[in-house]
Amino acid sequence: MIRFEKTTVSYPGPGAPALDEVSINVDKGEFVFLVGASGSGKSTALKLVMREMRPTSGRVYVAGKEINRLAAWKVPRLRRQIGTVFQDFRLLSTKSVSENVAFALQVIGRSGRDIRKTVPETLELVGLADKGNRMPDELSGGEQQRVAIARAMVNDPMILVADEPTGNLDPATSVGILTLFEHINASGTTVLMATHDHGVVDRMRKRVIELDHGTVVRDEASGAYGFEH
């Protein structure tokens, strides 16, 4: 589902590459934590998967497509198959909770009837059935992240990419967010989550890929966050 082959990313300017010949293979339906110190290359790896950028060298395949060779007009179609969740939620502040989730369906041309059915179902799944009419700034951080997750999953994406999704949340709230990710994963969506959060990684015991200065230093099937590297 996601494959890096000797993938290198060098940002302009001096300094070592952000990713240095990284090779990773993530199969359909896997749940993978990407861990490592700040600056180790996690966000860069996720940006490649989202096709926000391209590798300097090497290859990246997402859902069978090599992103470097993908025609520009095909990029939106690929992005539609990828749900994204970020540390800072990134909700549309002038839209209600329901409108935020509906928007993800409007932009891909789904019918009003379909949207009116799907949005409440998705809000129910993330535990926000009664908050559809609220504005984002009327919600707690954990609730806002649930809206972002609803928006990411409403389209039933093949891949969910999350960059530090619990970075602004307290530990108890984070557990709830991870439980949601597990549900999404159980329905067949491949989950790739970059995190600093030792607590959630240790609790979940999923596959852990650790980056250090842009190289993979660990890839464990059922790992903990680990301090030993």
Q: Per rule CB under 6 A, is residue 94 in the interface with ligand ADP?
A: no
Q: Between 28 and 67, how does the x/- string for binding to Mg ion read (CB under 5 A)?
A: --------------xx------------------------
Q: Is 44 in the site for ligand ADP (CB under 6 A)?
A: yes
Question: In DSSP terms, which residues pair with 61 in a beta bridge?
Answer: 3, 66
DSSP 8-state symbol, 227: S
55 makes contact with ligand ADP (CB under 6 A): no
Dig out the tokens for 161 from the structure: 């990419």
Q: What is the DSSP letter of 140?
A: -
76 binds ligand ADP (CB under 6 A): no
Q: What does the block give as tokens for 30? A: 């896997």
Radius of gyration in angstroms for the set of CA atoms belonging to the chain, rounded to a whole number: 17
Is the C-alpha dihedral spanning 181, 182, 185, 191 positive or negative? positive
Residues 6+ apart with CB under 8 A from 13: none
Contacts of 152 (CB under 8 A, 6+ apart): 83, 84, 85, 104, 160
Of the listed pieces 34-42, 69-77, 78-86, 153-161, which binds ligand ADP according to CB under 6 A? 34-42
Q: Rounded to the nearest whole angstrom, what is the least distance from the CB of residue 205 to Mg ion in the complex? A: 23
Q: Does 40 bind ligand ADP (CB under 6 A)?
A: yes
Interaction between residue 38 and ligand ADP (CB under 6 A): yes
Closest CB 211 distance from ligand ADP, rounded Å: 6
57-62 and 65-66 beta bridge pairing: antiparallel
Residue 11 makes contact with ligand ADP by CB under 6 A? yes
Measured from the CB atom, the residue of 38 and 94 that comes closer to ligand ADP is 38
CB-side neighbour CA atoms (13 Å) of 32: 25
18 binds, among ligand ADP, Mg ion, none (CB under 5 to 8 A by kind): ligand ADP
Q: Please report whether residue 217 would count as binding ligand ADP according to CB under 6 A.
A: no
Residues forming the site for ligand ADP (CB under 6 A) = 11, 18, 36, 38-44
Residues forming the site for Mg ion (CB under 5 A) = 42-43
